[in-house]
Structure 1
Amino acid sequence: MSLNIVIMAAGKGTRMKSALPKVLHKLAGRSLLQHVLNMTEGLGGARNVVITGHGAEVVEAAVAGPGVQFVRQMPQLGTGHAIQQAVPAIEGDGTTLILNGDVPLIKQATARRLVEACDGKALVLLTIHLSDPSGYGRILRQGGTADGNVLAIVEHKDASPEQRGIKEGYTGMMAAPTAALKRWVSQLNNNNVQGEYYLTDIVAMAVAEGVPVLGIAAPNETEVLGVNSPVQLADLERRFQREQANDLLEAGVRLADPARFDLRGTLSCGQDVEIDVNCVFEGQVSLGDGVRIGANCVIRNATIGAGARIHEFTHIDGEAQGVKVGAGALVGPFARLRPGADLGEEVHIGNFVEVKNSTLAKGAKANHLAYLGDATVGERVNYGAGSITANYDGANKHRTEIGADVHVGSNCVLIAPVVIGAGATIGGGSTISKNVATGELSVARGKQVAIAGWTRPVKKR
C-alpha cells in the first residue's frame, strides 16, 4: 500500500524574532525540518512532500535531496489550505502521513503506529494528554469519555470554556486514507474566528461518512512539542540532550554531569569511556574502550582509539576528512587537531600544538607550542617547542617528511618540501630549507655575537 508523507513547513515563526525561517533553526546541530526528514527514512514512503511558504527558497535549498518534493503555500491560510496545495503531489489509494516541520523529535515508532493504524481505512490522530493544553486543538470524544470515539477537534481559539477544560489535545499530526483526504480538504471552508482553513475540520467529515476516527496518544510530551520561540527551542534542546545522555549512561558511559553534555551528531562508545563536563560532540565520533575525555572539549568527526586521553580544552575538528587518534595517545590540554590529522599509538600532542593533514607514527611527541601541517612524522620523533613546518609558499602546499627517531630542537622552521632523515638532529633555532641526511646534525642559525661595553639606550626625558 502506497504511503505519502507530507511535512508542513510554511510558517513564518514570528515569535522566533529571526530572519531565518523557523524550521531551519537548529536543535542538536540539525535544523528542525531535517530532524523530521531524517525520521521518515525507513518508513517506506514513496516521497516526502514538504510544504514551504515563508522563506521558501532558503528552506528548499537547505533540505533538498532525493525523494523530497516541494509545494508552496502562498499565502498561508491555515493547515487545511496547506494540505490543499499538496493534493496534486500525493498519489495512490493508500495512506498519507501528515507531520509538522517544527516538531523535530517525533519518533519513527510513533509515526509507524499512525500509519499502521490507518491502513488506508481510518483517520488516525496523534494526541497528547497535558495538564495545560493551551494552544492545542481539543479532542471531542463520544460521551466525553477517555476511550469514546473521536467526534471532532475544536481549535483552542474556537473552543468554549467547557471544551478548553479538556486535557487531551491534538498534536497536529495524523494519518489519513489518501483518497478520502483529497475529498475532505476540497470541502473545507474558512467560517471560523481566524478565517482560516482548518485541517481539523476533516474529522467531522470522516465521522459523517462513517469512517473510523482513532486517537492514539503519544508516548510522551517531548515527542510532540513544537518550537515557536527561542525559549521553547532551548527547552527542547535540553530535553533532547538529556535523553541522549541517558541512553549513553544506560550503555555504560560515565558522564560527569548529564546536564552538561551536548551531542550534535552520532557518538559510539566502547566500554569504560569517561566524559567530563561541557563537552560537545558533532558529526560522527567514535570512542574506543577506556577513552577519557577531559572537560570543555569539542570533538567533531573523529575516531579515538582505546585508552587514549583527550585532555581539557582540546578542539578536534575532522570536517569531511576526519581525524584519527591512536590507542593510548595523549592529546592536550589546549591542543587542536584539524582535518587529516592521523595520530598513531602512544603519540603525545601537548598544549597549544596544532596538527593538520599530518601523520604521526607510534610514540612521536610534540609536547608544546608547535605546528605540524602536511607532514609525515616517523616513530619516536621528538618535535621541539615553538617549531613549525612552513608548508605554504603563498600558492601551494608542500610536504615535510621526518624520519624515525629524529630530534627537532625548539624554535625551528622546517621549510617544505624537505626531508629529514631517520635519526637526524635539528639544532634549536634552525631554519631548515634543504634535506638533512640520516643521522646528521643540522644547525642553521646566525652566529652569536657578544659586544663588550655596550650600553642600553636611555629614554629621553
Structure 2
Amino acid sequence: MALNIVIMAAGKGTRMKSATPKVLHKLAGRSLLAHVLKSGEPLDAAARIVITGHGAEQVEAAVAAPGISFVRQMPQLGTGHAIQQVVPALVEDQGQGTTLILNGDVPLIETSTAKALIDTCAGHALVLLTVDLADPTGYGRILRDKDDGGVLAIVEHKDATPEQRQIREGYSGMMAAPTAALKRWVAQLTNNNAQGEYYLTDIVAMAVAEGLPVLGIKAHSETEVLGVNDPVQLAQLERAYQARQAEALMRAGVRLADPARFDLRGTLTHGQDCEIDVNCVFEGRVELGDNVRIGSHCVIRNVSIGAGARIHDFTHIDGEALGASVGEGTLIGPFARLRPGAQLGREVHIGNFVEVKNATLADGAKANHLAYLGDATVGERVNYGAGSITANYDGANKHRTTIGNDVHVGSNCVLVAPVTLGDGATIGGGSTITKDVNPGDLAVARGKQVAIAGWTRPTKKR
C-alpha cells in the first residue's frame, strides 16, 4: 500500500516578523522543516511532498534532496486549498494508499507517532492526531459523540462558539487519511466560513457522513505537537527540546551541572562518567570517550574527544567538514581554539589563547600559551613556546611546517613555511626561521643585541 507524506510549508509566518520563511527558522541548529523531514525519513514513503508558497524558492533550495518533491500553493487559501494542490502528485497502489499530512512548523513530531497514525489508518480510516492542552487557544477543537466518543468534527478556533472553546482536546493539524477518499473529500471543500478559506478539517464531517471510521489518537506529549508562530514560541520550544535532550543524556549517565544551561544542536555520543559544565553548546557530530570533562562556556562542533581528556572553560572547537580529534588524556584550554583538521594525539597540551588549524600534534606535544599552529605536522614531546607561530600563508598559497620529535621552540618565534625542524632541534627565542634545521642543531636567527652607553631619550618639543 503506497504511503504519501505531505508536509504543509506554504505559510508566511507574519508574526515571526522576519524576512526568513517561518519553516526555515532554526530549532536546535536545524530548520523547523528539516526536523519534520527527518522524522519522516524512517517511514517507507512512496512520495515525500512539501507544499511551498511564501518564499518557495528559498524553502525548496534549503531542503532539496533525492526523494523530496515540491508543490506550490499560490495564493495560500487555507489548509484544504493546500491539499487540493497536491492531489495530482499523490501516489496510489491499485487504488489503495495512505496519505500522512504533517505541518512544517511543528518540528518535534516523533517518528513513532507518525507511524501510529499510518498504522491506524491502514488505508481505510481517517485518523487525527489530537492532544489535551492546558491552553488550546488557536487550535481546532475536537467534537466527539457523547455516546461512543467517536470524532464528529473539528471546529477551528476562529469559528468555535464560546462553549466549544472550553474544550481542551485540540487538533494538532496532523492526520492520516485513505488517499482515494482524501482526493474525493478535498474536491468538495468550500470556503463558507469566517475567514473565507478552505479548511482541511471539514473533511471530518464528510467522512462521518459516509460512515467511514474517524479516529483520534493522542500525542505522547504536548511538546511534540506544539507549533511555532512567533519568536517567543520558538524560544519556548527550543528550551523544551533542550530539556528533553538533557534528560535523555542524564538518564544515560552524563552529568550535567545544570540541564537548563545546556544546548545540543546535533548529535552527542558518549562513554561513561562524562561531565559537562554550564553554558556549553554542542553542534554537528560530537563524540566523547569515557571520563571526559567539559568546562563551562565551551562551543564544541564536529569533533571526537578521547577518554580522559579535559576541555577547560571557554574553549572553542570547530571541526567543520574536515572534523577534529582530541586524543586520550589531552588537556585543552582555557580560551583555546581548535579549527578544522586539528588532530591531537594522547597527552597533548593546548593552553590558553592557542589556536590549532589543519595541524597534527603527536603524543605528548605541548603548546601552552599564546601560540598558533597552522598547516603543521608536530612530532612527539615537542615544546612549542609562548608567542610562536607558523607563518603558513605567503599571500597566495598555504605551506606546511614539519617539526620533528623532541624539538624545543623558544618563545616568540616565527617558522616561515615551508620549513622542517629535525628531531631534537632547538630554536632560540625570538628567532625567525626560514631554512630547514638539522636534527639536534640549535638555530638562532635574530638581530645582535646592541647597548649604547649614555644614551638620552628625546624630549618632547613644547
TM score, norm. by length of structure 2: 0.99
Q: SS of the counterpart of 2:163? A: helix
Distance in 2 between residues matched to 1:33 and 1:164, nearest whole Å: 29
> Where does 1:408-447 land on structure 2 (aligned, <5 Å)?
408-447=409-448
The CA deviation at 1:456 is: 1.1
Q: Following superposition of structure 1 onto structure 2, how do residues 184-333 of structure 1 map, counting pairs within 5 Å?
A: 184-333=185-334
Q: For residue 69 of structure 1, what is the amino acid of its counterpart?
A: S
Matching residue's letter, 2:7:
I
Q: CA deviation at 1:161?
A: 1.4
Please state how far the C-alpha of 1:298 moved relative to its aligned partner.
0.2
* Corresponding residue of 2:350: 349
Gap regions ≥5 residues in structure 2: none
1:164 maps to 2:168: no
How many residues align? The count is: 459
> 1:353, 1:317 → 2: CA distance?
14
The secondary structure found in structure 1 opposite 2:335 is: coil
Distance 1:64 1:323 in 2: 28
Residue by residue over 1:87-120, the C-alpha shift from the partner in whole angstroms, topping out at 9 and shown as x without a partner, is 1111102100000000000000110100000000
Cα drift, residue 132 of structure 1: 2.2
Report the AA paired with residue 415 of structure 2: L
Aligned partner of 2:140 in structure 1 is: 137
Deviation at 1:290, TM superposition (A): 0.2
2:263, 2:282 within 8 Å by CA — same for their partners in 1?
yes
Give the AA of the match of 1:82.
A
Matched residue, 1:55: 55
Question: Take 2:329 and 2:353, find their aligned partners in 1: how far apart are those partners?
Answer: 20
Report the alpha carbon displacement of residue 66 of structure 1 after superposing the two structures with TM: 0.8
After TM superposition, what 4+ stretches of structure 1 lie above 2 angstroms from structure 2? none
Q: 2-side partners of 1:163 and 1:422: how far apart? A: 82
Counterpart Cα distance in 2 of 1:248 and 1:274: 11
Q: Secondary structure at the match of 1:200?
A: helix
- Cα shift at 1:164: 1.2
Counterparts of 1:178 and 1:453 in 2: how far apart (Å)?
98
Is residue 140–residue 157 contact of structure 2 (8 Å, CA) maintained in 1? yes
2:127 maps to a residue whose letter is: V
Farther-moved stretch of structure 1 (38-47 vs 259-268): 38-47
**Aligned residue in 2 for 1:42:** 42
One-letter amino acid of the counterpart of residue 139, structure 2? Y
Q: Residue in 2 aligned with 1:71?
A: 71
Partner of residue 121, structure 2: 118
Cα contact 2:47–2:91 (8 A) shared by 1: no
Deviation at 1:159, TM superposition (A): 1.1
Question: C-alpha deviations, 1:369-397, integer Å up to 9, x for none?
Answer: 00000100000000000000001111111
Cα-to-partner distance string for 1:130-185 (whole Å, 9 max, x where unaligned):
13211111111111x6x611111111111111111111110100000000000100
Q: Which runs of 5+ in 1 are unaligned?
A: none
Cα distance in 2 between the residues matched to 1:313 and 1:156: 48
Corresponding residue SS for 2:438: coil
| Alignment partners' CA distance in 2, 1:450 and 1:172 | 83
TM superposition score normalised by structure 1: 0.99
Partner of residue 336, structure 1: 337
Alpha-carbon displacement from aligned partner over 1:219-268 (angstroms, at most 9, x marks no partner): 11000000000000000000000000000000000000000000000000
CA distance in 1, matches of 2:262, 2:458: 56
Aligned: 1:367 with 2:368: yes
Q: Supply the RMSD in Å over aligned alpha carbons.
A: 0.7
2:5 corresponds in structure 1 to 5
Deviates more, 1:150-159 or 1:115-124: 150-159
2:87 is matched with 87
Report the AA paired with residue 327 of structure 1: E
* Structure 1 residues 338-366: Cα deviation after superposition (integer angstroms, max 9, x where no partner): 00000000000000000000000000000
Question: Taking every aligned residue pair, what percent have the same amino acid on both sides?
Answer: 80
Q: Where does residue 149 of structure 2 map in the other structure?
A: 148
How far apart, in 2, do the equivalents of 1:357 and 1:424 lie? 23
Letter in 1 for 2:196: G
Indicate whether 1:127 and 2:130 are aligned.
yes
AA partner of residue 120 (structure 1): G
Structure 1 partner of 2:392:
391
Tell me, in whole angstroms, the C-alpha distance in 1 between the residues paired with 2:170 and 2:164.
11
Equivalent AA in structure 1 for residue 335 of structure 2: F
In 2, Cα distance between equivalents of 1:457 and 1:252: 68
